[in-house]
Structure 1
Amino acid sequence: MTALRVAGLSVQIERYIDDHFPGVVACVLTDADGKRHAFTEKVPVLSSSDLRADSSYPKPGYIGCVIEHEWLDAAGRKLVQVNTEQPWGITSVSGVTVFNVLDAQIIDR
């Protein structure tokens, strides 16, 4: 069995949406094809910053993910297929957990 390759996936935190402890924010992931995927998640899951309703936005954030596959596309871009279901059980608001992103969007390998 191959070990899971856990990494961080760069997202943009766009706004604060709920004060319910520890605070909930909305963020967006833009995939390799330019499609935006929205997420709603607790602040500490996406950022180590102390984000609040009166913080200025957007802010950088990250989602934990597992790297499933890497390849070069026809344009020579290094792409990475990630799954956000592991390690933290994160799903986009539309229920998607698998995304093709640019290698540059992967942090904390």
Structure 2
Amino acid sequence: MNKEWYSAKELVGIGGFPSTPQAINQRAKSEGWRRQRRSGVQGKAVEYHISSFPQEVVDELLARDEQAQYLISSSQPEKVWYSILLQMSEEERQKVTSLILRIGINEFLRRLGD
């Protein structure tokens, strides 16, 4: 996960969080969440660090982040492949690599097309 700081508006309704930014801000204050001022925003806007959130919220944010990684531009295939690689287990990476080495990339791609 790349993103570590979230505004109250971004956290609304996630993982059982309250349904309004105001209620999230109140909870953050009462629980002493780690916070920082939002840059480029006037007023008292703050954002909260992911380490302050309950595990179910962190899990949901991680799942959303993984889904967002699929939106990488197809004009940058190396980033797409790297993203896929990072999401695979070590065993999955070894299986794919072994298969490509055994049958060759052309046969691998042909099988994917079927």
Largest Rg, 1 or 2? 2
- By relative contact order (CA 8 Å, sep 6+), the higher-ranking structure is 1
Q: TM-score w.r.t. structure 2 length?
A: 0.24
Higher-helix-fraction structure: 2
Between Structure 1 and Structure 2, the one with more strand by share is 1
TM-score (norm 1): 0.25
